[in-house]
Amino acid sequence: MLANAVEMPDSLRRRTIVEVSWKTLIKLIAAVALVWLWIQLYQIVLVVLVAILLAVTLNPIVRWFERRRLPRWGATAIVSLILLSLVGGFLWMTWSSLSDQAQYAGQHLTDFERQTIDKLPSWSRASAGAKSGGEIQSRIAPYALRVARSAASAVIVAALGFILTVYFLIEGRRTRDWLVAFVPVAKREKVGETLDECERVIFGYVAGNVATSLFATLFTLIVLSVLKVPAALLLALLAGVFDFIPVLGFICSSVPAVLLAMTVSGSTAFLVAVLYVAYHAVENYLISPYVYGDRLKLSNLAVILAFAVGAEIAGVIGALIALPLAAAYPAVERIWLKDKLAEDTVRAHRAIEHRKAG
């Protein structure tokens, strides 16, 4: 009876039909496929991006040889051989020392961990992970196996990255022109200008980072050698590698140096900590602005945010790649967004960048 008494109006009985075109479906499927491909292949994509960064960095050296009337492939071969000789020669001369120092550092850091746990109250030792010698050895064995596997994977990835770098050095211009040909003719000039600006920024970033890393390595080696800190060469290389990582790299390299300096004396450890902090300040406010110049106009906040986003997406490599990409934003804004932003926005941003660079 209620159904007969209350009748639905015709407007509510109508069904809404949503039509989805084939183009929209294809775009959705393509988006899902791209996400799936990224999940499956993101490590290879990262290797390709790192190879592009290295190729852009080495390209000026290749051009210098080209101006001496060498063919592109010959200039690339010379640069590659020089790079391999430097890396191989360094490892050949220092591998024995690095192996001994790594063993020494690992033993002393393990002893320091045991001493620290022994000083804890008895109720907190279990939560801190206090184990017997046999249990420690049983934990170290699978960890060492994982390290060996990671080292083997790193060698394979490094070889692949080097091969891709050589390819991009030889065929980079042709590959770029081939990809730009897909862009509509009206936008090719802007794309070319953007790529040129990104190349300049990437070169400035990588070359500057290599320079500051070398400064950090030499400074650390000299200081720790003078203070007779064990494993000085290993700690210096650690400082150079972690110098590529902003903010956190300084902490990661200074902690083991201070801990090993404590095996000498407390005053030595304090002096090492002070010198690390002093060098970090000098690098940030004197060396980096001089090395980078106006090529990497990023505020400290932008550096931290770009690093955090890149690390969240793709780990440490993603964090390092994110910095030059973020530094290229001013060029993208000036070339592509000038007509879409407020009239004085781009001009105000450029004024702020030049004021910071100065």
pLDDT tens profile 39-48 = 788 888 888 8
Distance CA 203, CA 53 (A): 8
- At residue 1, the pLDDT reads 46
Q: Give the mean model confidence (pLDDT) for residues 270-283.
A: 92
Tokens 């990224």 correspond to 38
Of 28-37, 217-226, 336-345, which gets the smallest average pLDDT? 336-345
Distance CA 292, CA 204 (A): 6
Band the pLDDT of 268: cuts 50, 70, 90.
Answer: very high
Of 72-81, 111-120, 248-257, which gets the smallest average pLDDT? 111-120
- At residue 9, the pLDDT reads 55
Distance CA 128, CA 120 (A): 9
- What does the block give as tokens for 60? 């000026």
Q: Give the mean model confidence (pLDDT) for residues 199-215.
A: 86
- pLDDT exceeds 80 at position 174: yes
- At residue 353, the pLDDT reads 58
- pLDDT exceeds 80 at position 192: yes
pLDDT in tens, 138-166: 555 565 566 566 667 777 888 888 999 99
**Where is pLDDT greater, at 101 or 298?**
101
- pLDDT exceeds 70 at position 303: yes
- pLDDT exceeds 50 at position 2: no
Distance CA 51, CA 33 (A): 25
Average pLDDT, the chain: 79
- At residue 327, the pLDDT reads 78
Q: What percent of the chain has pLDDT over 70?
A: 74
- pLDDT exceeds 50 at position 305: yes
Band the pLDDT of 296: cuts 50, 70, 90.
Answer: low
- At residue 237, the pLDDT reads 92
pTM score of the predicted model? 0.73
pLDDT in tens, 84-108: 999 889 889 888 888 887 787 777 7
The residues spanned by each domain of the chain are: 20-182
**Where is pLDDT greater, at 219 or 109?**
219
- pLDDT exceeds 50 at position 198: yes
CA 26 to each of CA 19, 29, 34, 112, 183: distance values in angstroms, whole numbers, following the listed order: 14, 5, 12, 60, 20
